[in-house]
Structure 1
Amino acid sequence: MRKTWILLLPLCVNMALGQGGLLLVANKGDQAVAIIDPKTGKSIAAVPEGGETAHELVASPDGRVAYAPIYGNSGVGKPGTDGRNMVVVDLKTHKVTGNVDFGKGIRPHCPVIGPKNGLLYVTTELDNTITVIDPKSLKIVGTVPTGQAESHMLAISRDGKRGYTANVGPGTVSVLDLDAKKTVKIIPISRNTQRIALSVDDKLVFTSDQTAPRLAVIDAATNTIKSWVDLPAPGYGTAPTPDGKYLVVAVSKANKVAVVDLGTMKVTKTIDVPAAPQEVLVRPDGKVAYVSCDSSKKVAAIRTSDWSVEQMIEAGKGADGLAWAGR
């Protein structure tokens, strides 16, 4: 019986991909990548990363592997270990099949696939850079300076030309020219800022002020703050819906998710979720927003048609980064 179950696991993965994709969760406390069937909300596998520990992850465009930078055992700007590598997880065999060694402790954190060139961009905090990796050879092919410390999260425009980092401790956003590999501008936000996202038309950039209950809205054409959105409490992770109408915001300290109408720039709905919501991932079809809830070991699946929680998914200890594998 045990051998039969092991043989069936890859089949389960292929079936889930055929039905629309897999939900991936970086479980910091378990030091593992959880692979979840979103149809059933059940875990298919939890793959040990072999390091302490990945906070974020991203899937390859073909949905076959996930890239998980090993950040370390601390939070941004806090004392602890300094991760120096990134692992590659095969989503069919549930094994670590590749590794990128950055050569020194560098706290690699947020990975993003370049939408045009297919290269992998990873925030490397202690070097104040974005490191560029060829995902085929797993070789480092370049770096982009951010000009700031604690460049924690990264968003890339859909034409692949611009990058934006949320620089936590400095409370700034760096605007990057990814082709020229240079910093274009540094935008002051507050004394501390977290997470970053782009509107679907790339005209607006969003980042959460950690010192006040508000969200900064940056005009990407002028690289200046255009407006602020009032929130119930300081926000955290954000993600837009594919139709461009809404921005979903994790409001960590209030244990809520706020829905911002991007037409009026006002919160039109709040949803109660388990403790410490962190990251938001809106499914490619736009029907569900997934929100990782760190201290509860759960991911809330929120139906976007009526903004109600349709499912609570058991993830793992310290559920944080989210990714979608497949279409």
Structure 2
Amino acid sequence: MSDSANVAVISQSGETLSFFDATTGQQTQLITDLIAEPHELCVDKHRNVMYISHAYRHGHYWKHGDYSHEISVFDLKERRIVDVINIAPYGGSHGIRLDAANDRLISSVEYGIGEAGGAIGIDLKTRKVIGSVGSDAKSHWIIITPDGKKAYTCNKTFDFVSVLNLADWKLIKKITLPGGSEELDISRDGKFVYVPAPGAQVGQNPADPCIKVIDTQTDEIVDSIPLAFGGSSVHVTPRGTIMVGQYNFKGGKLNRGHVSLFEPKNYKLLGDVEITDYPLTLRSSADGSVGYAANVLGGTTDVIDLDNMKVLRNFEVDTVSRADKGNMCQGAHGLAVFH
């Protein structure tokens, strides 16, 4: 097991970026005064930068003000914001993924394409938007195939997953998924997409929570992995194992969450561990032995030994609720691990 890495975590409500030593859990740097409502992180190793999406001027998915129209560029060597990509007229950038095959950044957007959102492509040489495609939804999370030809968006409260052609910028298909969906991921070989369903239900656990498995050749649901609690996020580790975050409400109150690990071929449960809070974003170490869970409502991050399914440590990101944000703490959101 190895967790010798740097961990970067966004506080959405606090508008900060924190860096931690994964081994000790000690905070090594705090970047303040980011553009409002930073959301997700994406590391570009080739340029040694990290991209930061910004969704709203204030608020969260369920209640927010105007959409933001920026993606910040953070230099990992200089440890500062070195550029801001203006994506207007598109807005509400949330999920961001590196399309290494085509040297593009692909971002989901909630606004600016027809009456809804979809996905945009940004040329990383010029940092200009070069294409867009509508999803017929307020798209939140996104994943792309390894060749960069297709994308799948989870649309939270919308009853479908959108399949997008990133070469011709066209909507291919809408895969029906009653109840919506949460953060999805794709298998290492690009053959299957894993989608938590139904969408998050604040204050209660959903009926029949599961991970829907989509075949990327047919764009059909081919399997379902049952969950004990509501599914909030999926992350496929470098080993190919499927890491699933689950939230647990009891009597209307949030209990401790869970992270489960599944084998990728037969979906056998390899282990489960109780964690601190609501695991919104999951990531893992380069060798897939250590997992990280950003607990959005409590503002902390758990470090998990994935070989033995136990929490190694928990570090505080931002646990302070702000009155000007409606006293809703979203103190640990986007998460990135780098060496």
1:296 is paired with a residue of what secondary structure? coil
Q: Aligned pair count?
A: 306
| Aligned twin of 1:309 | 311
- TM superposition shift of 1:21: 4.4
Contact between 2:5 and 2:23, CA under 8 Å: does it hold in 1? Answer: no
When normalised by structure 2's length, the TM-score is 0.84
**Quick check: 1:194–1:236 contact (8 Å CA) kept in 2?**
yes
Q: CA deviation at 1:257?
A: 1.0
Report what 2:245 is aligned to.
250
The residue aligned with 2:251 is none
Maintained 8 Å contact 2:163/2:173:
yes
Indicate the residue corresponding to 2:71 in structure 1: 86
User: Distance between the aligned counterparts of 1:105 and 1:221, measured in 2?
Assistant: 30
1:38 aligns with 2:22: yes
Alignment of 1:129-140 (within 5 A): 129-140=118-129
What is the Cα deviation at residue 270 of structure 1? 1.7
TM-score normalised by structure 1 residue count: 0.87
Q: Is the 8 A contact 1:77 1:150 kept in 2?
A: no
Q: Which residue of 2 aligns with 1:231?
A: 227
| Structure-2 change in CA distance of 1:243 and 1:307 (3 Å) | same
Deviation at 1:20, TM superposition (A): 6.0
5 Å-filtered alignment, 1:173-188, equals 173-188=161-176
Q: Quote the Cα distance in structure 1 between the aligned partners of 2:304 and 2:286.
A: 14
2:53 maps to what in 1? 69
Q: Does residue 324 of structure 1 match 2:337?
A: yes
| Partner residue of 2:263 out of 261, 264, 267 | 261
* Cα offset, 1:76, TM superposition: 2.4
Deviation at 1:110, TM superposition (A): 1.1
Q: Distance in 2 between matches of 1:77 and 1:293?
A: 18
How big is the shift at 1:289? 0.9
CA gap of 1:45–1:62, structure 2 versus 1, over 3 A, is: farther
Partner of 2:299: 297
Shift of 1:136: 3.0
Identity of aligned residues (%): 25
Query: What does the per-residue CA deviation read over 1:33-54, in whole Å, with 9 as the maximum and x for residues that have no partner?
Result: 2122223322221212532211
- Call closer, same or farther: CA 1:113–1:207 in 2, change over 3 Å: same
Aligned partners of 2:214 and 2:222 also within 8 Å: yes
Q: CA deviation at 1:205?
A: 0.7
Alignment of 1:17-32 (within 5 A): 21-32=5-16
Post-superposition CA distance 1:4-39 (Å, at most 9, x none): xxxxxxxxxxxxxxx964221111122012122223
> RMSD in angstroms over aligned alpha carbons?
2.0
2:80 paired residue number = 95
User: Residue 76 of structure 1 contacts residue 168 of structure 1 at CA under 8 Å; is this kept in 2?
Assistant: no
Task: Provide the residue aligned with 1:144 in structure 2.
Answer: 133
Q: 2:274 aligns with which of 272, 275, 280?
A: 272
- Structure 2 counterpart of 1:286, one-letter code: G
Mapped to 1, the partners of 2:88 and 2:213 lie a distance apart of 37
Residue type matched to 2:91 in 1? Answer: I
**Cα offset for 1:206?**
0.9
Opposite residue 242 of structure 1, the aligned amino acid is P
Over 3 Å counting, the alpha-carbon distance change for 1:219 and 1:171 in structure 2 is same
CA distance in 2, matches of 1:139, 1:289: 33
Report if aligned partners of 1:56, 1:320 keep a CA contact under 8 Å in 2: yes
**CA–CA distance in 2 between the matches of 1:231 and 1:223?**
22
Structure 2 SS opposite 1:195: coil
Q: Where in structure 1 are there 5+ consecutive unaligned residues?
A: 1-18
Q: Which amino acid aligns with 2:299?
A: K
Q: CA deviation at 1:80?
A: 2.6
Structure 2 residue 212 is the aligned partner of structure 1 residue 216: yes
Question: 72-81 vs 38-47, which deviates more?
Answer: 72-81
Corresponding residue of 2:323: none
Counterpart CA distance in 1 for 2:64 and 2:54 is 16
8 Å CA contact 1:58–1:324 kept in 2: the answer is no
Q: CA deviation at 1:77?
A: 4.9
Query: Could you say which residue in structure 1 is the equivalent of 2:181?
Result: 193
SS of 2:14's equivalent in the other structure is: coil
TM superposition outliers: structure 1 runs of 4+ over 3 Å: none
Measured in 2, the distance between the counterparts of 1:21 and 1:205 equals 27
Alignment partner, residue 11 of structure 1: none
Residue equivalent to 1:119 = 104
CA–CA distance in 1 between the matches of 2:146 and 2:90?
Answer: 31
Aligned counterpart, 1:7: none
CA distance in 1, matches of 2:24, 2:263: 30
Structure 1 position 116, deviation (Å): 0.6
**Aligned residue for 2:237?**
241
